[in-house]
Amino acid sequence: MSNKLTRRSLAAAVLAASAPAPAQTQNPPAEELERARDGVRRNREALAKFKIDRAVEPAFQFKPL
């Protein structure tokens, strides 16, 4: 299928892009960021508690090409 960027589709995209982003009604970003960092720390702690045999390799393989 041949797809060219038409004036119509470009206008639609620009229009969408210029629409105001929905208002942020939640906590200020600083608190939100701290919460997200806490999440990373909590995940780290949860993973650390999980005992795993040293022989277990990650669920992906390096493949020489």
Partner 1 sequence: MPSFDSSIFFSTIGELNAKLRAKEFSCVELTRAFCDRLERLGPRYNALALPLREDAIKQARKVDDDIKHERLRSPLQGIPYGAKDLLSVEGQPTAWGALPFAGQVFKYNARVIDKLAKAGSVLTGKLAMVELAGGPTYRFAAASMTGSGLNPWDRSRWSGGSSSGSGSAVAAGLVTYALGSETSGSILTPCSFCGITGLRPTYGLVSRYGAMALSWTLDKIGPMARSAEDCGIVLQAISGKDNDDPGSAGKSYYYSPQYARQFSDLTIGYHPADFEEHADEPARPAFRQALEMFKTFGSKLVEVEIPEFPYGPVISTILSGEAGAIFEDLIQSGQVDKLADAKQIAGLKASQEVLAKDYLKAMRIRALIQDAFRTLFSRVDVLLSPARNGVASKVSEPLDGGGRGSAATPKSRGLQGLIPAANLAGLPALCLPCGFADNLPVAISVVGRPFAENTLLAYGNEYQKKTDWHRRKPPVE
21: contact with partner 1 by CB under 8 A = yes
Q: What are 57's two structure tokens?
A: 């390799």
Would the CA dihedral through 57, 58, 60, 65 be positive or negative?
negative
In the region spanning residues 24 to 43, those forming contacts with partner 1, defined by CB under 8 A, are 24-27, 29, 32-33, 35-37, 39-40, 42-43
Assigned token pair, 45 = 């702690």
Contact criterion met (CB below 8 Å) for 32 and 26 = yes
Contact set with partner 1 (CB under 8 A): 1-6, 8-10, 12-14, 16-17, 19, 21-22, 24-27, 29, 32-33, 35-37, 39-40, 42-44, 46-50, 52, 56-60
